[in-house]
A and B are shown apart, each in its own frame.
Chain A
């Protein structure tokens, strides 16, 4: 299931690639647990990639193997052509922003940031540290100890401490996990700004899908030690290839359907007696049956018998079972004739009225928004409970 991003198949160990390349990397712990399973990944130089997945999916282990803090059981890791699979962590041009920052409590901010430069006996430490502190807007705090700073400031120190070394790859391990929501948003923008400014390769590990999509150029969704799907955030969101991705990134309605015919442009599917079509490029199964997927905000809702502004088929017989109005939009749950409840997000444009529980409605969607997934996959995989 692992994928290689927009790179034609190249042979393992090719040293001409100047980014970060993982080939067949596995990590099995002595207790038999396989955290990462034969993983392939290419991270082009200068890009910002997010490893996204639930806890235990292997994203942190992958990051630690790149940092050199764990040794792969098998496989190869190359950076700018050099094999670094077994290189000591202190010899890799890779730096990490740790979860909870791991700032040295006995050193002040200046010394924390200068730590890497001093170990490498770089000249002109003072000026570089000043410059870096200015970049993260902490110039005035240089002589404070980490515990005297707020969470957001500590976070920026951790970032500065890693960035100042101008690593080939900067690894960020859930860097914003300890911050409150508002601070997290502004830090997301800040980190993105800094990345653009310095032009380094960033690998960001997170379980927060919104954070991943906001910040990264490329998102790799990981599950059970493998990459489920890799691509640009919009692509992942609009055209998920597995039920896990469809559910983990945002929310999806997945409806059972039987493939009727496969044309060159569209696949025709019978959905509980209603014919629907899915573009070939969004059809991700060869089987007889499949899950027809549609994002709630792509579903249109209207009065029974009303002509909806959509070229697809109308699906009649829905009954509204739940309404939650939140200003910008309204979220409905609609019970369909086959018993399934579908989620619908309707913009409050004023063109249609807001329905109430018990109203009979018709649903519809544009065929180009639908996708078709492998029926053997669990329809609830990756769904975030309580989300």
Chain B
């Protein structure tokens, strides 16, 4: 009997092996080397190589030099996530409860933009928001935008681009969790004297929280790290942390700074996610 359990135990570990190896190769090793790189002496170069000097001040330098883009990224990512949540919730709700047999067609339409390139989709926003374009002209006509006002190369365009590009990541988990809600629960709340509005906040919203949490995480994390939208739709004042990391790595070849910034971004996001998940109280729901 003991022999038996031991063998079964060994099979279990064997089955875990592929996952373990995948994690090791695709997460542990890169992460380890990222941390190592972030501690190199920044005075090195590709010609001389980089020396490991446990140069922790790379982190302080990164913070003091790039707190602006870092903070800006968190703000843009946060605003874009919030807008995605509002837009996405309305759409996912309509799909789950009102669309009937059109439900899955709508789902396909939500995913459809993924069939074209991210870059092309973002560039097409340049046409939509062009200075002489329809949107700007309309806003100018309505006196919302001044006569020489513009949208391109402003935070508005960057956030619009972020919202557009990451909306599907919000809609899909929201739809999944809303679609799972038994419509009888909503009937029951109505039967128990809850105005539909109250019923939404007391029943539908709390039951959709798992979707809200995963949707906001799936949107926020990549939105904070994104740099394409800021680069194509923004101006010099809208640079995000992703683009700093990219230029430090690719252009300035300052690998230690790029690695320190990446690590820090990861830590900041991880901390925010932990606090958020804790506050949202989703452990109980999941």
Contacts and interface: CB of A to CB of B under 8 A. Distances in A.
A69 B185 contact: no
Nearest to B198: A119
Identify the interface centre among A88, A89, A95, A100: most chain B CB within 10 Å of its CB.
Answer: A89
Contact of B191 (A67, A99, A100, A103): A67
B187 A119 contact: no
Nearest to B184: A102
Interface string A104-117: 11100000000110
B148 to A, nearest CB: 52
B207 interface: yes
B127 interface: no
A179 B156 CA distance: 58
A106 B191 contact: no
Given A102-B182, A106-B285, A89 B207 contact: no
Contacts, number: 63
B192 interface: yes
Identify the interface centre among A102, A120, A161: most chain B CB within 10 Å of its CB.
Answer: A102
Interface size range on A against B = 20 to 34
Interface in B181-195: 182, 184-185, 187-195
B203 interface: yes
A161 B194 CA distance: 13
Contacts of A165: 192-193
A90 B188 contact: no
Nearest to B195: A90
Given A119-B194, A119-B198, A96 B207 contact: no
Given A89-B187, A96-B191, A115-B202, 9 more contacts: A69-B191, A89-B190, A90-B196, A100-B184, A102-B182, A102-B187, A106-B285, A115-B189, A119-B195
Interface of B: 182, 184-185, 187-196, 198-199, 202-203, 206-207, 285
23 contacts: A68-B191, A69-B190, A89-B187, A89-B190, A90-B190, A90-B194, A90-B199, A95-B191, A96-B188, A98-B187, A99-B184, A102-B188, A105-B185, A106-B203, A115-B192, A116-B192, A119-B192, A119-B193, A119-B194, A161-B192, A162-B191, A162-B192, A165-B193
